Structure 1
Amino acid sequence: MSPVSILLNLIWILIGGAWMAFGWLVASVIMAITIIGLPWARAAFNIAIYTLLPFGSRAVSRDEVTGMSDIGTGALGVIGNIIWLVLAGWWLALGHLLTAVLFAITIIGLPFAWAHLKLAGIALWPIGKVIVPA
């Protein structure tokens, strides 16, 4: 990770990134408690880590990394993402959108607003994504 990414991640955590990562962690724990939600719990936990340290990493489709489709990137992944969207995705995306608007008010907050907008998109459709270094 570059020094700029490290600095941005530290600032990110201090000015509010930790609370959204906590939201993802809560979603992960709730999904894990239900037992049925274990596939969503894994995805939410991975994205919680990404939400805590978003600079220097990016989310891509798993089939782009592996070169082949799997359950999460096919039809079952679409069904899983729709279920996720209804159960938890919309409120996580809303949290990211509201935070992005607050950061976008200032010029210095624009990189953080952009990171929240990327995370809002992932919040709506997380199944089949993998986090890779940028």
Structure 2
Amino acid sequence: MRTILNVIWLMFGGIWLAALYFLAGIIACVFIITIPFGIASFRMARYVLWPFGKAVVQRPDAGVVSGIGNVIWFLVAGWWLALAHVATAIAQSLTVIGILDAVVNLKMIPVTCFPFGKRIVDRGSLHPGQRPLHSI
């Protein structure tokens, strides 16, 4: 079932959202000092490309540097990527099949805005008692 949902997701918006994250990652890697932002963007591109069966969990070792990175990320790239998710969700919600994808798009916005201090894992690899921030 996850594969079917992922294929539908890919056809109705996932591919272009992943392309936006990939573009943001390339731009960030051009400047040496922003390579960590590029890596985060590539990680999010992979998540946005095939999201069903994944979960977002908080990293226990995240600290002040992650918070500062999140602020910089939000100001530079997070807000416009979040707008892309909203625009895609609006377009997807126009069809019955796309409503689930629209909800998934809206669930991704907090991770899009603040990716540092979070990990994207397979839902099957969650430890007993470990609560994801959200899972798809």
TM-score for both structures, normalised by structure 1:
0.87
Q: How does 1:1-134 map onto structure 2 within 5 Å? A: 4-63=1-60, 69=61, 73-134=62-123
With 101-110 and 18-27 compared, the bigger mean Cα shift is at 101-110
> CA shift at 1:62, angstroms?
1.7
> CA shift at 1:107, angstroms?
2.9
- Alpha-carbon contact 2:57-2:118 (below 8 Å) kept: yes
Mapped partners of 1:39, 1:11: distance in 2: 31
Alignment length (residue pairs): 123
Unaligned runs of 5+ in 1: 64-68
Offset from partner CA, 1:33-85 (integer Å, 9 cap, x none) = 1111111111111110000001111222122xxxxx2xxx2111111100000
> CA shift at 1:104, angstroms?
2.1
- Aligned CA-pair RMSD: 1.1
Provide the secondary structure at the position in 2 that maps to 1:36: helix
- Alpha-carbon contact 2:12-2:92 (below 8 Å) kept: no
Instruction: Considering fraction of residues, name the structure with more helix.
Output: 1
Q: After TM superposition, which residue ranges in structure 1, 4 or more long, deviate above 3 angstroms? A: none
> CA shift at 1:131, angstroms?
0.8
Which letter does structure 1 place at the counterpart of 2:25? S
